[in-house]
Amino acid sequence: METKTKKAIKDLPKVERPREKLMQYGPGKLSNSELLAILLRSGRKGENVVELAEIKRAVISVGSLNANLVHPREVFEPAIKNLAASVIVAHNHPSGALEPSEDDLEITKRLVEAGQILEIEVADHVIVTKDNYFSFKEKGLV
């Protein structure tokens, strides 16, 4: 298995360092990860601050037109592997129905409970339709 050598920020050419890019080109030329890296200030062992600042996304399950089965262990596996402090769960409702189903409410409750045990916060659960979204956090449901 080939391993990629990760460089510390100080080992990058100055033109690739987030703080120097900000000073030279302004915030409009930086990625979201680079801007967040400036706020975080330092990485952790084996991961520089820009890598740490990257938002990790994972597809956990692909459902059918009107159903999707997901288990908390599948949701939290990538979060645990990435040492995440929180997760945001999202799924779509192809039907266009914005309100959460009973299954949506139940899985959210189970995810919040599992997250409390793991000390990984479920920061939000978002349902997306073609024209709108529903945030469990905005409605006080997480």
Residue range(s) defining the domain that contains residue 21? 9-53
Tally of domains in the chain: 2
Residues 76 and 128 in one domain: yes
pLDDT value of residue 64: 58
For residue 22, how far is the Cα from the chain centroid? 24
Residues 84 and 115 in one domain: yes
Residues 113 and 81 in one domain: yes
Q: What is the mean pLDDT of residues 22-39?
A: 87
Residues 95 and 41 in one domain: no
pLDDT score of 46 more than 50: yes
Share above pLDDT 90 across residues of the chain, in percent, rounded to a whole number: 44
- The reply to whether 100 falls in a domain is yes
Confidence grade of residue 66 (pLDDT, cut at 50, 70, 90): low
pLDDT in tens, 97-115: 999 999 999 999 999 999 9
pLDDT in tens, 110-130: 999 999 999 999 999 999 998
CATH number of domain containing 126 = 3.40.140.10
- The reply to whether 60 falls in a domain is no
- The reply to whether 2 falls in a domain is no
> Which residues have CB under 8 Å from 105's CB, separation 6+?
141
pLDDT value of residue 1: 40
Confidence grade of residue 36 (pLDDT, cut at 50, 70, 90): confident
- The reply to whether 25 falls in a domain is yes
- The reply to whether 44 falls in a domain is yes
Q: What is the mean pLDDT of residues 1-20?
A: 74
